[in-house]
Amino acid sequence: MSPQEKELIEGLKRKSRKAFHTLYRDYYAAMVVYALKFLKVKEEAEDAVQDVFLSLWEAEKPFDSIDNLRSFLYTSVKNRCLNILRERSVRRKYEEHIIDFYKEMENEEPIEQTYAEVLGEVYRLIDELPPRCREIFLLHMDGRKNEEIAQALDIAVNTVKAQKAKAVSFLKEQMGDTLVVLITIGCI
């Protein structure tokens, strides 16, 4: 192991920001290219790699060598990409479900009215969320990414993720599969 590699490994063990920055600088681009082989969408690949680097920073996993570190990065990126692909598959199933649902609804009442009523119920339930949770979820609905929300509100990205999950859980509990379908087709 070279002196630079040894210094990097030791720095990561100490949670050195400099070591983490070096790791990020040296491996981020390669990990994104690797993730693109699975995901084919640059934004998703970048998000997957950022999630892996974040988990590496938060983990208490010491590495004995640069090879172990590389192996961890590639394995983690691959696993994160596979999770994203599974999520896509689930999303496609819900999209098919909503299409079938709308076809059934065509004979009962106008879709626009049903959609407006459901969306009105979603916003009524959002108003029941705790203030910070509601604020984060509404920013999410406006299309902002987790990092943008965290920066705008001066909070941690993990806090944003946790509050979004809390909001979705509450809404799903109240609305069931209807909410999942709305999220899947991008209405929320």
pLDDT for position 70:
92
Beta-carbon count within 10 A of 182 CB:
19
Q: Which two tokens stand for residue 44?
A: 């998703």
Place of tokens 């961890």: 72
pLDDT (tens, 9 = 90+) of the chain, 188 residues, equals 788 888 989 998 888 999 999 999 999 999 999 999 999 999 999 999 999 999 888 887 788 889 999 999 999 999 999 999 888 887 777 777 777 766 766 665 554 556 667 777 878 888 898 989 989 988 888 888 999 999 988 999 999 999 988 988 888 888 776 665 565 455 55
Percent of the chain scored above 90 by pLDDT?
38
Q: Cα separation of 123 and 162, whole Å?
A: 20
pLDDT for position 180:
57
pLDDT for position 183:
58
Place of tokens 């590639």: 74
Q: Cα separation of 174 and 168, whole Å?
A: 10
pLDDT for position 47:
93
Residue-wise pLDDT tens digits, 22-67: 999 999 999 999 999 999 999 999 999 999 999 888 887 788 889 9
Element (H, E) at 154: none
Report CA-CA distances (Å) from 113 to 98, 110, 121, 182, 187: 16, 6, 12, 15, 15
Q: Which domains does the chain have, with CATH numbers?
A: 3-84 (1.10.1740.10), 109-184 (3.40.50.2300)
Chain mean position to CA 88: 12
CB 134, CB 126: distance < 8 Å: yes
CA torsion, points 20, 22, 27, 28, in degrees to nearest 10?
70
